[in-house]
Structure 1
Amino acid sequence: MSREMWLRFEIYHDVVYAPEASLVAKELGCRGGWMGYFGTRSAPLGAASPEVVTAAFFNFHPQMVAKAVPQVWSVASPERFLQARLEIVDAALRRMLGADVAGLEEMVTLAASAAAGVSPGGRVLGAANQALPPPVEPHLALWQSCSTLRESRGDGHVAALVAAGLAPCEALVLFTADKGLDPAYMRRMRGWSEQEWKEAEAALVDRRLLTGGGLTVAGRELRAEVERWTDMAAAAPWQALGAGPTARLRDLMTPVVQRLSELNESMKVNPMALNPAEIVA
């Protein structure tokens, strides 16, 4: 159930990266889309330093983060970026779903209960999002709960990667090889140089997790183990909510996220996005 719910709240959360994000970032005065990304995603942490953002986000090169942070806080305050991301989500959801979403009020109640079950210990981004006041508008309140669940799961995933002994670039190399993604694109998306990528590959080869032909058996097993640990670490909100209410939220969200996955342009160009085909009614 932890995995099934992730497939749903992740897609609802991802509307914050819809095309409306570029428009809002430009209005704020951000220099490029990445400044808007780092500003909106890290805003719950306050005016965080580049070191804090790098640690929390895990797989970005420190220099890539430093190009945007802390300068982003001179463009707009964290409070303004919190408002901006709700503006993005509001515009994107109204465009993609319209004003009438079946079962929205019930989804808001169930998702809020699940988000309240997030344990803040060791979950920096999850706890920071959980501490934010819920928006008044139901579709935005649902998004905020989904964001708390999403970032909390991400915090647990980072913990699993650390426990597996994977450095940030190594984790990205392993993920890229596992998913058959383009290394050059992934380096560009996270700021790692070709030399740093090669060094990470060499470290994984030394651990017998990677070969010239892709992941070894041990590499595939470690990737699977990391995902299993992540699912286990993300189970508490659903255990607190209960099996019946969780299944009800899953069923209510399924048609909504299927619609979003069809329309969200950012998902279509992002190789790290979820596969909508995995969502079944």
Structure 2
Amino acid sequence: MGSELHFGPQAEDKWYAISRRNARSVQTTVGWIFWDPGAVARYEAWGLDGFLAGPIGYVASRGAPLAPAGAEALIASFGTISAAGIRLAFDLVKSPDAFRDFWSLRDEAVEEGLRSHAPGIVEPLCDTGPALWAVVERLPLLGRTLFGATLSMPRPESPLLSGWHAVNLLREWRGDTHWALVAAAGLTSSEASILHNEWLGYEDDWLSKSRGHTGDEIDAGWESLTRKGLAADRRALPEGLRLRQRIEDLTDERTVLPWQLLGEHAAHEFAERFEPPCELLLARVDETAGPQYQPASRQRAAG
């Protein structure tokens, strides 16, 4: 592993590019499970209604480390996910121990699904897992609540699942960093979701609706963005799109540390080994959810 961190302009550009490139594979390695039928079937068997099994199972499995802190802690950590949906998860799942059930059910589906849908990722996860754990254990906790809670969970004995959890921790550390930047920009959950949707070029309010925002919440988001000079006539203005791009750029800049700790050679090797099987996992999302889901894994058109 690399032991020296470099911050000169040339090195900074290099690490920025690595951070941006590998963020996509990190997201994809983890995110496909959110809509996977193998996971949803397990949540249904636990007792969730079929329509709710996917979204509530997502909240319960990902949120299990923070569940003892209550719904408001998850709302604060989950960014643009519907607050009402998170509160419903607590109504239906009820106890922190039951949230842990969903964590375990999700893990079963992860191991089974990776072997079935992207077998080429099994060896890279097993090989890279120990080095990634050494990285995540050195990452700063300050301001990264969901990352810190997830880090406290027991480490799986399975080398495949252990490697996957290490990647998941990279994802949560980046996510906590991103939401801190969104908050620092003065954006609400609804505003952030609307700007993200516009920045991606998705159809009207698709992202907000997919994350459970109500019509009233979306309307309020547009109204406040308009007052701030970031939108007009339910379209983001150039100022709004520039703000969203700046948040993305800052996220990449502020998340170079894991790759510096891993080392340049290993960071490039991560990209080369993970990208091909991640394309299969993204195709799985296309099949199980749709081609707009998991937007952090999508290649955004220039412009």
> Is the shorter-chain TM-score for this pair beyond 0.5, marking a shared fold?
yes
Partner residue, 2:295: 273
In the TM superposition, residue 99 of structure 1 has moved relative to its aligned partner by 8.4
Task: Give the 3 Å change call, closer, same or farther, for CA 267–10 of structure 1 in structure 2.
Answer: farther
Aligned length: 278
The alignment partner of 1:30 has SS state of coil
Which letter does structure 2 place at the counterpart of 1:119? P
1:209 is aligned, of 226, 230, 233, to 230
Question: Which of the pair has the greater relative contact order for Cα pairs under 8 Å at 6+ separation?
Answer: 2
Secondary structure of the 2:81 match is: coil
The RMSD of aligned alpha carbons is: 2.4
2:42 match: 24
1:15 equivalenced with 2:37 (yes/no)? no
User: In the TM superposition, what is the alpha-carbon distance from 1:63 to its structure 2 partner?
Assistant: 2.2
C-alpha distance 49-270 of structure 1, shift in aligned 2 (>3 A): farther
One-letter amino acid matched to 1:9 = V
**How do 1:93-172 and structure 2 match up within 5 A?**
93-98=114-119, 101-172=122-193
For residue 76 of structure 1, report the CA deviation from its aligned partner.
5.5
CA displacement at 1:270 relative to structure 2: 4.3
Cα distance, 1:116 vs structure 2: 2.5
Amino acid at match of 1:15: W
Uncovered stretches (5+) of structure 1, i.e. residues with no partner = none
After superposition, the Cα gap between the structure-2 partners of 1:103 and 1:267, relative to the gap in structure 1 and judged at 3 Å, is same
Percent identity between the two aligned chains:
25
Give 2:9's aligned residue.
Answer: none
Distance 1:252 1:3 in 2: 16
* Letter of the 1:271 counterpart: Y
The CA distance in 1 between the partners of 2:194 and 2:121, in whole Å, is 42
Distance in 1, matches of 2:121 and 2:199, equals 40
Q: Which runs of 5+ in 2 are unaligned?
A: 1-17
* Aligned residue identity for 1:16: I
Alignment of 1:219-238 (within 5 A): 219-238=240-259
Distance 2:121 2:209 in 1: 39
Q: Which amino acid aligns with 1:27?
A: A
The answer to which of 217-226 and 64-73 deviates more is: 64-73
Query: 1:258/1:99 Cα in 2 relative to 1: closer, same or farther (>3 Å)?
Result: closer
> Post-superposition shift, 1:96?
0.8
Change (3 A) 1:187 1:107: same
**Structure 1 residue identity aligned to 2:76:** A
What TM-score do you get using the length of structure 2 for normalisation?
0.83
Amino acid at match of 1:22: V
Deviates more, 1:219-228 or 1:114-123: 114-123
